[in-house]
Amino acid sequence: MARQNFIGLVVSQGKMQKTVKVRVQTKTYDKQVHKEVLRRKDYLVHDEGSLCKEGDIVRIEAIPKISARKYFAIAEVKVNKGQQFALYEKLAKEKVTKEQDEKIGQFLEKRKELESTITQIQDLRKLDQLHASFGNNKDVDRDFLLNEIETIKKKYNIKSWPSSEPVLRLEISEESKDLSLIENRHAHIQTILQKLMSEEYTPQREQILSQLSKANSNDLKRHTIKNILRKYVLDPKNKCPVTF
């Protein structure tokens, strides 16, 4: 006698040892509605090698009962989509881990630069104090002070102090520049919008509207035009068309 066979989809895996849940979809005739309807039933299926993954399409075959609810086993893996999903998931996790490592590396590099800047500021402040002590206090060890002063000058390649040349360069990040630009535009937004809505700035206004709106500018209401212009002006990537 032929064993009972079904084709189904693995919907759950890894929650029980050597067991997967397979969902089988069959067509049956419903006498109440007098037509064929789809029925779905989940089976606990024995997977001896723990090979199946969620998403696999498998053929299951009836076997002698292993437990009260498990009387089918995996006979064949028809489509191993689950293996591909598992591979994609693994690659995604590796990509996320790599991105996190890069971000951590960038953070540590920035922190190192910040610590270096702080050290430079402390050294230059110390240089100021040493110069002041050398000129005002005659009881101190002048040779020691001169040695300390020369050490700091040599470290930063300073020829004279106070120096007329920049010694410490503090770079402002692009994010800080964008933030200051947005704050400045927020402070003057009403003035900018009033000018853009005037006849003087009609070409600039029409150009912005053509970029951000598919509708004809003549069909747009005044408050809609203002909202579009506000969105354009507050974006730091866009150049402000109004000069102060």
Mean pLDDT of the chain: 82
Q: Please, which pLDDT band fits residue 70 given cuts at 50, 70 and 90?
A: very high
- The residues facing 77 across adjacent strands are 58
The rounded radius of gyration (Å) of the Cα atoms in the chain is 37
**Pair 88, 34: CB distance under 8 Å:** no
Instruction: Give residue 140's pLDDT.
Output: 64
The two structure tokens encoding residue 106: 């960038």
Q: For the whole model, what pTM was predicted? A: 0.38
Could you read off the pLDDT of 208-225 as tens digits, one per residue? 888 887 777 788 888 888
* Distance separating alpha carbons of residues 122 and 139, to the nearest angstrom: 24
In this structure, which topology does domain 5-79 adopt according to CATH?
Answer: OB fold (Dihydrolipoamide Acetyltransferase, E2P) (2.40.50)
pLDDT at 177 over 60: no
Share of the chain above pLDDT 90, in %: 15
Q: Which residues are CB-contacts of 181 (< 8 A; sequence separation ≥ 6)?
A: 236
**Pair 26, 42: CB distance under 8 Å:** no
- Name the pairing type of β-strands 35-46 and 5-16: unpaired
Q: Among candidates 55, 48, 126, which has minimal Cα distance to 134?
A: 126
Could you read off the pLDDT of 12-50 as tens digits, one per residue? 988 889 999 999 998 888 888 889 999 999 999 999 888
Tell me the domain boundaries of the chain: 5-79, 89-155, 174-234
* Distance separating alpha carbons of residues 80 and 64, to the nearest angstrom: 26
